[in-house]
């Protein structure tokens, strides 16, 4: 370990004090959905594998004589009640590194040391964003779309998967039969990835998710669908879709609002159709919305005059969007790079809760620093690099999915980047 003030021990102390909460704040403020929920005073939990909270529910009305549902027993049909819901903690981790050569250069002075440490933090933030994004806008557990017994696997989408990632394949709801493979290639246009050795997977029943520790990962992930709940899996008015233990088929407030555009361009009327559905069912007009840059550009081109805005988060940072007329005011529609191609989402802040857990740097094996020597997963040999791992705990929980909506299968100019 290097001697003097510019060493790994100093770096550990700075990461634990200056950068611990700052990394979490940066990840939240870099995404419009998280940023908007952060303003609404997020809930905080202090530990445990599950989060439990009370949600407002009501059974189907009209001809549906239902008084029993997942999540609780209601006294009689059509009476609103509160039932307990629960979700698994979504635990994301990211690792950053400093090579021996970098550390030697960082020892040359305070500026070099600060710049080197900031680069390590920036790398960690980028990695966390890449892992958090699938939870926000997709299912964190990717679904296998075709049977395979070889090295090519077809998933529902591969946009956020990178060559070099370690993925665990197994049953997508129980985690059973978990096996780890390294991603060696991908094609976004075909939604396929190639892995380093053959894997047996079954369409719909199998899933893939980020591995926690490379090929030595043996942690069983429980209730994957619940931990992975994001706006994509929570918007569709899917019959008998269970989310957080409550069935949308027997509880109308637990079904979302959606419109399939079948490849057509999304115009204002399409957005209004989903808004009116949200407003008519639960009087929950959307307060924010996100989409891709391609869908936003097509929508703006239809306007005779464009009204735009900038939502400033910090100096030199913010979100640019356009306004749509919503039932109770103007809806800001913001373009976000992580929104899947062909999608637009809208939500009411009362319908979604952001839960934050205690984020932390994992202690290293020596008890003095948070750094570990890097092991090459393919050879088992040590490399001349120190690594530190940051654990981020965030989860989106839904109080009333009827207050969420989406447009999907929209015409979109968003490019297929990365494969």
Number of compact structural domains in the chain: 1
Q: Is 392 in contact with 129 (CB distance < 8 Å)?
A: no
More confident residue, 150 or 358: 150
pLDDT tens-digit profile of 264-288?
999 889 999 999 888 877 667 888 8
- pLDDT value at residue 306: 54
68-116 per-position pLDDT tens digit = 444 444 444 555 677 777 766 667 778 888 888 888 888 888 888 888 8
Does the pLDDT at position 240 exceed 70? Answer: no
Task: Kindly state whether residue 76 falls inside one of the protein's structural domains.
Answer: no
Containing domain of residue 163, as a range?
141-227
**Range with the largest mean pLDDT of 190-199, 291-300, 360-369:** 190-199
Question: Helices (DSSP H) in 187-292: which residue ranges?
Answer: 224-227, 231-235, 268-282
Q: Residue 311: pLDDT band by 50, 70, 90 thresholds? A: low
Using CA atoms in the order 20, 24, 25, 26, what is the torsion angle rounded to 10 degrees? 100
On whether residue 155 sits in a domain, the answer given is yes
Tell me the two tokens of residue 260.
Answer: 């399939």
Residue 136 counted as domain residue: no
Quick one: average pLDDT of 226-241? 56
Q: Which two tokens stand for residue 47?
A: 């530990």
Whether residue 376 is contained in a domain is answered as no
Percentage, residues of the chain above pLDDT 70: 71
Question: In what helix (H) or strand (E) does residue 346 lie, and over which residues does it extend?
Answer: strand 344-347
pLDDT of amino acid 51: 74
CATH number at residue 149: 2.40.30
Pairing verdict, β 404-408 and 257-260: parallel
Residues 6+ apart with CB under 8 A from 305: none
| Closest CA relative to residue 385, chosen from 4, 8, 3, 5 | 8
Q: Is residue 269 part of a domain?
A: no
Which residues, other chains included, contact 249 with Cβ-Cβ below 8 Å and sequence gap of 6+? 239, 240, 241, 255
Judged against a pLDDT cut of 80, whether residue 372 lies above it is answered with: yes
Q: Residue 198: what pLDDT?
A: 96
- Whether residue 380 lies inside any domain: the answer is no
**Proportion of the chain above pLDDT 90, given as a percent:** 10
Tell me, yes or no, whether 220 lies in a domain. yes
At 305, the pLDDT band (50, 70, 90 cuts) reads very low
Band the pLDDT of 226: cuts 50, 70, 90. very low
**How do residues 2-15 score in pLDDT, each as one tens digit?**
444 678 888 888 89
Which residues does 18 contact at the CB level (< 8 Å), separation at least 6? none
The pLDDT score that the predictor gives to residue 104 is: 84
Burial (CB < 10 A; 0-12, 13-18, 19+), residue 344, is buried
Q: How far apart are CA 386 and CA 8, in angstroms?
A: 9
- Is 331 domain-assigned? no
């Amino acid at each position: 370990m290097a001697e003097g003030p510019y060493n790994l021990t100093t770096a550990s102390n700075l990461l634990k004090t200056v950068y611990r909460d700052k990394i979490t704040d940066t990840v939240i403020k870099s995404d419009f959905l998280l940023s908007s929920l952060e303003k609404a005073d997020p809930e905080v939990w202090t530990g445990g594998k599950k989060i439990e909270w009370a949600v407002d529910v009501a059974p189907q009305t009209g001809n549906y004589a239902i008084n029993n549902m997942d999540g609780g027993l209601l006294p009689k049909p059509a009476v609103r009640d509160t039932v307990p819901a629960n979700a698994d903690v979504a635990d994301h981790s990211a690792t950053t590194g400093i090579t021996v050569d970098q550390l030697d250069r960082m020892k040359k002075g305070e500026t070099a040391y600060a710049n080197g440490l900031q680069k390590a933090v920036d790398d960690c933030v980028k990695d966390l964003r890449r892992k958090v994004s699938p939870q926000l806008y997709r299912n964190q557990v990717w679904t296998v779309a075709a049977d395979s017994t070889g090295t090519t696997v077809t998933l529902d989408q591969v946009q956020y998967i990178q060559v070099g990632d370690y993925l665990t394949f197994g049953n997508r709801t129980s985690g059973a039969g978990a096996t780890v493979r390294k991603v060696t290639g991908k094609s976004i246009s075909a939604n396929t990835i190639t892995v380093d050795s053959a894997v047996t997977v079954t369409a719909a029943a199998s899933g893939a998710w980020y591995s926690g520790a490379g090929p030595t990962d043996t942690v069983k992930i429980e209730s994957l669908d619940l931990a992975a709940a994001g706006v994509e899996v929570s918007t569709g008015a899917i019959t008998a879709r269970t989310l957080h233990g409550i069935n949308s088929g027997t509880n109308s407030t637990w079904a979302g609002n959606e419109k399939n555009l079948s490849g057509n361009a999304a115009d204002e009327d399409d957005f209004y159709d989903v808004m009116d559905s949200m407003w008519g069912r639960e009087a929950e007009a959307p307060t924010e919305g996100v989409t891709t840059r391609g869908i936003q550009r097509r929508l703006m081109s239809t306007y005779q005059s464009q009204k735009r805005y900038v939502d400033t988060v910090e100096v030199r940072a913010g979100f640019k969007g356009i306004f749509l007329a919503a039932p109770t005011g103007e809806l800001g529609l913001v373009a976000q790079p992580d929104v899947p191609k062909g999608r637009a989402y809208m939500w009411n802040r009362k319908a979604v809760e952001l839960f934050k857990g205690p984020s932390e740097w994992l202690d290293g094996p020596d008890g003095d620093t948070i750094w570990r020597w890097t092991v090459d997963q393919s050879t088992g040999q040590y490399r001349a690099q120190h690594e530190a791992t940051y654990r981020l705990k965030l989860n989106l929980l839904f109080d009333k999915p009827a207050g969420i909506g989406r447009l999907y299968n929209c015409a979109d100019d968003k490019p297929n980047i990365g494969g």
